[in-house]
Amino acid sequence: MRFSNVLLAAGFFNATFAQHNATSSVAFRSALRTCSLLQKSLGSEIVQTSGTEYQASASGAWSLFNAEDLPPCIVFPRSTQHVQVAMAAIFRDKIRYAVQAGGHSAMTGWNSVQDGILIFFSHMQNVTYDPTSDTITLQPGIHWGDALSQLSPLGVAPLGGRLGDIGTGLLLGGGLSYLSGEFGFSSNAFVELDVVLVTGKLVTATATNQYSDLFRALKGGANRFGIVTRYQVKAIHIGTEDDKNFFGGVILYPNSSAEALINATAKYVSTVNDTKASILMAFTNSVNGSEINSSHILTLFYHGSSLPNIFGDFLSIPSSFSQIGPVSYMDANSILGAGGDRGFGQLFGASAFKGGVVEQYANAFRAWTDYTNTIESALFATVLAFTPIIDAQTLAGRANGGNLMDPPRGNYAAVQIQTQMLAGVATVPTFVTTARNKLFSRIPRSAGFPLYINECDAGQNVFATYGKFNELKTTYAKYDPTRFNIRFSDGPIGL
């Protein structure tokens, strides 16, 4: 393990950052020099060092841990060329940098930077549909809710996520949607990507051109392989807002149903391979004063006009609230709200469970309950969420050129632990870090199944769990031979 990861895991960096006097740091001052040069070439609207927009953007990230940095400048590109100019200067001057699209990373430092340059995509939010090629073109700053509402009148949608406020960074980590069973990970719908490499060079990658290796690596390689400035993706014909082509909704359960829900989840992951079906099972513990309130939320949808028997177990478990009926794809994507709440420090953590072993799921529930109890005093809430990834999803991805996560055949579940700290708590206390490490050691992944990078802890070596890890490493070495991104940007470890 690298030194910096040990420090990160110990919560050391957050503590130092809090005391860091930005204006006096050498790194900050050299970044400021690059900012001044960039401001001369791009102008002071695109390169900002202060002001209302600068402040709102610096503090706009979803996780409070990423909303505290005050970089010497923020670059607000209007075009790919602006990103090229900024990246070329960052590379030339060896400046730390970060990129922010929808802002929803829960990994500290992955979308923010204190002593470097932040590239912020709020001015590149176009989305268009081209009926001739039946593709959608997304600029990186758009959020899924806006993309869906703009395209809904045309009856098409991109593969994205499940909550409206989330952004396109999701695609670079893979992407799980309510349509994953039919079409695979969201990134499997990539057609053509404009990518600004670390040097500032622009390349356009497709499945078949000379950059096909880069194209594959971007389906799960997260922020390590370059900055994507244009995503052209296949359009999915899901109907308009008036077409209620899906059937489903949400069911809320009391904690007394927890064991039955765990059993039903394990059974679902083992047995269901229906491309039209999708669930998200989220167990939640929220802290209210000195009390923990456990209540559990199932989101379920079927791309059809009724619910088939496969959901029967969940429907028969005693619930406290249920809202199920015909819905549009847009309705489905707003059923859990937009997910836009700010002001809380957030942490994720991932595992991957194959179908079949009920005890593995029950054990995870116990480990998560113990974890919540141990860190209760620092908490607003924790979530233990299961997203089944069915065999058909893996096959759909492979049929479409595959990706480097390359899960083996057979159903499994992406397991996510979300930790939402008490409002305003800006650092991770050491006892929380200790409890997290213990939790992760209690819920190891099933051998061979990849972790989902969009849901991981920054200390988890996700890339090493990919089926095609070696190809990922080779491709990284080819496109960033001086390892500039790894040296100058926070992101997934292990390359």
Ligand X SMILES: Cc1cc2nc3c(=O)[nH]c(=O)nc-3n(C[C@H](O)[C@H](O)[C@H](O)COP(=O)(O)OP(=O)(O)OC[C@H]3O[C@@H](n4cnc5c(N)ncnc54)[C@H](O)[C@@H]3O)c2cc1C
End-to-end CA distance of the chain: 12
Instruction: Give just the sign of the alpha carbon dihedral 185, 186, 189, 192.
Output: negative
Binding ligand X (rule: CB under 6 A), the pick from 140, 221, 249, 450 is: 140
- 349 binding ligand X? (CB under 6 A): no
Question: Which residues 11-30 are close enough to bind ligand X by CB under 6 A?
Answer: none
Binding ligand NAG (rule: CB under 6 A), the pick from 5, 255, 334, 434 is: 255
- 319 binding ligand NAG? (CB under 6 A): no
Binding ligand X (rule: CB under 6 A), the pick from 13, 110, 311, 412 is: 110
Coil, helix or strand at residue 279: strand
DSSP letters for 93-148: HT-EEEEESS----STTSS--SSEEEEE-TT---EEEETTTTEEEE-TT-BHHHHH
Binding ligand NAG (rule: CB under 6 A), the pick from 203, 324, 357, 395 is: 395
Instruction: Give just the sign of the alpha carbon dihedral 59, 61, 64, 67.
Output: negative
Q: Which is nearer to ligand NAG, 293 or 470 (CB)?
A: 293
Give the nearest distance from C-beta 172 to ligand X in angstroms.
5
Nearest to 480 by CA among 91, 192, 40: 91
Question: Which residues 44-73 are close enough to bind ligand X by CB under 6 A?
Answer: 62
| 15 interacts with, out of ligand NAG, ligand X, none, CB within 5 to 8 A per kind | none
Q: Which residues contact 397 (CB under 8 A, 6 or more apart)?
A: 184, 185, 188, 403
- Can you tell me the distance from the alpha carbon of 423 to that of 402, in angstroms, rounded to the nearest whole number? 41
Q: Which residues contact 1 (CB under 8 A, 6 or more apart)?
A: none
Nearest to 198 by CA among 486, 493, 491, 494: 486
- 223 binding ligand X? (CB under 6 A): yes
**Residue 54 in tokens:** 């600068």
- 157 binding ligand X? (CB under 6 A): no
- 277 binding ligand NAG? (CB under 6 A): no
Binding ligand NAG (rule: CB under 6 A), the pick from 203, 315, 358, 464 is: 358
Amino acid identity of residue 96, one-letter, is R
Question: Which residues 441-470 are close enough to bind ligand X by CB under 6 A?
Answer: 454
Tell me, residue by residue from 179 to 218, as one string, x for binding to ligand X by CB under 6 A and - for no binding. ----------------------------------------
Instruction: Give just the sign of the alpha carbon dihedral 165, 170, 171, 175.
Output: negative
- 273 binding ligand NAG? (CB under 6 A): yes
Give residue 109's region: left, alpha or beta (phi > 0; psi -120 to 50).
left
> CA 419: distance to chain centroid?
15
Binding ligand X (rule: CB under 6 A), the pick from 8, 147, 176, 381 is: 176
- 21 binding ligand NAG? (CB under 6 A): yes
- 15 binding ligand NAG? (CB under 6 A): no
Binding ligand X (rule: CB under 6 A), the pick from 9, 47, 118, 228 is: 228
Cβ density class 137-165: b for 16+ within 10 Å, e for less: bbbbbbbbbebbbbbbeebbbbbbbbbbb
| 23 interacts with, out of ligand X, ligand NAG, none, CB within 5 to 8 A per kind | ligand NAG
- 364 binding ligand X? (CB under 6 A): no
Coil, helix or strand at residue 68: coil
- 258 binding ligand NAG? (CB under 6 A): yes
Residue ranges that bind ligand NAG, judged by CB under 6 A: 21, 23-24, 126, 255, 258-260, 263, 273, 275, 288, 292-295, 358, 369, 391-392, 395
Residue ranges that bind ligand X, judged by CB under 6 A: 62, 98-106, 110-111, 140, 161-163, 166-170, 172-173, 175-176, 222-223, 227-228, 339, 454, 491
